[in-house]
């Protein structure tokens, strides 16, 4: 069994390294003036009741064409509010060691689409936007063995086990099978 796993994982590693397979993240990026603001979850898929982080990446054009640089100290003059339905909560933003990266710890409690609202200004550019982040999933996406929805299979397995036990007891009672100790 190990012989099969090693070549498979080796093949996947090679495909990642040459760029044929790329990890996908459900982050949303919007442009505001000269800035790109990306918002998403730190752990995907986000699951209800499991601690996660809302993550933000804020960049501006770099000196070299096609490059981007992280923008620091963004949340000195900008507030972030997480929202869904009629509920909202201002969140504390922490700086990541990488320039332009920020995060806010959160435990999502509902399986809905959350919005992050940014209000304020970045280096003189007014910011007033709402960015949707990936839907929060129910715990069923991670449950093992499944907690619900498999009731019929569980009942069938129990019936089969009981039937097998009843047959064994009948054989013991008839003397067909002997008990040895």
Between residues 167 and 37, which one has the greater pLDDT?
37
Distances, alpha carbon 60 to alpha carbons 29, 41, 54, 66, in Å: 13, 21, 20, 11
In the chain the first and final C-alpha atoms are separated, in Å, by 37
The pLDDT mean for the chain works out to 83
Residue 64 lies in a domain: yes
As a whole number of angstroms, the distance between CA 102 and CA 32 comes to 17
Greater model confidence, 164 or 89: 89
CB 54 within 8 A of CB 133: yes
In a domain, 6, yes or no: no
CATH number of the domain bearing residue 43: 2.60.40.10
| Same-domain check for residues 35 and 58 | yes
* Within a domain: 2: no
Residue 41 falls within a domain, yes or no?
yes
Residue-wise pLDDT tens digits, 70-107: 999 999 999 999 999 889 999 999 999 999 999 999 99
Predicted local confidence at residue 85, as pLDDT: 86
pLDDT tens by residue, 47-66: 999 999 999 999 999 999 99
Are both 134 and 164 inside the same structural domain?
A: no
Task: Count the Cβ atoms, other than its own, within 10 Å of residue 153.
Answer: 11
93 and 163 part of one domain: no
Q: Do residues 101 and 168 both lie within one domain?
A: no
Residue 161 lies in domain = 143-181
Strands 78-84 and 68-70: unpaired
Residue with the larger pLDDT of the pair 8 and 154: 154
As for how many domains the chain has, the answer is 2
Name the H helices within the chain.
2-17, 151-174
Q: For residues 46 and 126, state if they share a domain.
A: yes
Residue 103 is assigned to a structural domain of this protein: yes
Comparing 7-11, 69-73, 96-100, 128-132, which segment has the lowest mean pLDDT? 7-11
Same domain, 74 and 152: no
- pLDDT exceeds 90 at position 150: no
172 is a domain residue: yes
pLDDT one-digit tens code per residue, 101-112? 999 999 999 998
């Amino acid at each position: 069994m190990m012989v099969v796993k090693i070549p498979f994982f080796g093949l996947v590693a090679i495909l990642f390294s040459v760029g044929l397979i790329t990890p996908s993240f459900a982050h949303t990026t919007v442009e505001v003036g000269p800035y790109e603001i990306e918002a998403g979850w730190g752990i995907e898929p986000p699951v209800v009741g499991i601690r996660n982080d809302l993550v933000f990446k804020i960049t501006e054009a770099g000196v070299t064409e096609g490059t981007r640089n992280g923008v620091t100290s963004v949340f000195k003059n900008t507030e972030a509010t997480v929202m869904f339905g009629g509920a909202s909560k201002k969140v504390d933003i922490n700086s990541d060691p990488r320039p332009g990266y920020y995060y806010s710890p959160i435990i999502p409690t509902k399986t809905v689409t959350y919005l992050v609202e940014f209000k304020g200004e970045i280096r003189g550019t007014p910011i007033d936007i709402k960015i949707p982040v990936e839907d929060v999933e129910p715990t069923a996406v991670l449950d093992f063995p499944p907690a619900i929805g498999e009731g019929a299979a569980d009942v069938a397995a129990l019936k089969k086990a009981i039937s097998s036990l009843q047959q064994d007891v009948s054989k013991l009672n008839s003397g067909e099978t002997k008990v040895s100790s």
